Amino acid sequence: MHAWLVQLETIDILLLFPRVIGTGKESLLKLAACSAVLLGFFVYHVHYLAFVRFDYGYNMAATVTVGKIRNLMISTNIVEFIVKHFVLFKVFNP
């Protein structure tokens, strides 16, 4: 059941990449590299759990790590939004 959680968090991170990295032409290489690393991790994770050994501790560590990365990306996105759109921060950050 936790493998589905890793899959959902992985998809969530893939959807967050364009918001955090950007979608311009100069960001496409970074976006592709980050997506390839994340996809590689997911394929390795599913392969390890399905064919090598189902290790509950490893699965929990992977789930927590992916969750922390997702939370960090969401926090970064929220801070960028607040800094760009609120007048209070524009006064202090010219």
Domain count, the chain: 1
H or E element, residue 26: none
Short-list 48, 33, 41, CA closest to 11: 41
Q: Are 82 and 89 in contact (CB under 8 A)?
A: yes
Reading the chain (94 residues) residue by residue, the pLDDT tens digits are: 455 555 666 677 777 777 767 777 777 787 788 788 888 888 898 899 889 998 889 888 888 888 888 888 888 878 877 777 775 555 665 5
Q: Which domain holds residue 45?
A: 2-92
Distance CA 24, CA 70 (A): 22
Kindly calculate the radius of gyration of the chain based on its CA atoms and give it in whole angstroms.
17
Short-list 42, 48, 47, 43, CA closest to 65: 42
Taking the model in full, what pTM does it have?
0.65
